Structure 1
Amino acid sequence: MFKPFANDTDVLNIAGDAINIENGVKRLTISGDLTIARDKAGLANALALQKAIGAIIEVLQGDASLPAKLPDEPAAPSGTADNPFI
């Protein structure tokens, strides 16, 4: 069972590996390309995607301390560095 934001290791694959949802405690990454055909296989893919997005939304809506925006990762450089090639 995929639990959004539960850890930094789980990956949910939809339609084989057409869509990958990589778990993270602060961020999820959704990548891939999914074609949803107007057939039973397409319906199964759409329902799997809906279930995953629904679980993500449920966790986000249930977080009373949800910030407006997380800081960017990685943090922006704090200064300049000498060019070692000059």
Structure 2
Amino acid sequence: MFKAYSNDDVLNLQGDALTVSNSAAQVEIAGTLALKRDKRSLKAALALHQALGSVIAALQAQADLPEHSADEPPAAPHVIDNPFQR
């Protein structure tokens, strides 16, 4: 079972198409996951759901959660114009 921010483990979904890397400082999600209408996809979706639920629960439980981490720029996400489009 994936427990966010607890150790240095990796959750691999559908082989290694999508990985959820876990450390005490951050959880990193990388890759692509295709979910089809089959049992394999259901199993992958449930594992991802559990992992993200663990992340959300850990973040909500931290009373002193900062606005952003010290190593991250404070700018809020925003949309920029496509420079290649006229």
Q: TM-score by structure 1 length?
A: 0.74
After superposition, give the CA deviation of every residue in 1:24-82 in whole Å (9 maximum; x if it has no partner). 21211110111000122211111111111111111111111111110126xxxxxxxxx
Assess if the C-alpha contact under 8 Å between 2:5 and 2:25 holds in 1: yes
Aligned residue in 2 for 1:79: none
CA distance in 2, matches of 1:61, 1:17: 29
Calculate percent identity across the aligned residue pairs.
Answer: 46
How many equivalent residue pairs?
Answer: 72
Assess if the C-alpha contact under 8 Å between 2:2 and 2:50 holds in 1: no
Aligned residue in 2 for 1:22: 21
Aligned residue in 2 for 1:58: 57
Aligned residue in 2 for 1:2: 2
1:38-57 pair list within 5 angstroms: 38-57=37-56
Between 1 and 2, higher relative CO (CA 8 Å, sep ≥ 6) is seen in 2
Q: TM-score by structure 2 length?
A: 0.74
Aligned residue in 1 for 2:33: 34
CA distance in 1, matches of 2:64, 2:52: 20
Gaps of 5+ in 1: 74-86
CA distance in 1, matches of 2:22, 2:45: 20
CA distance in 2, matches of 1:51, 1:20: 14
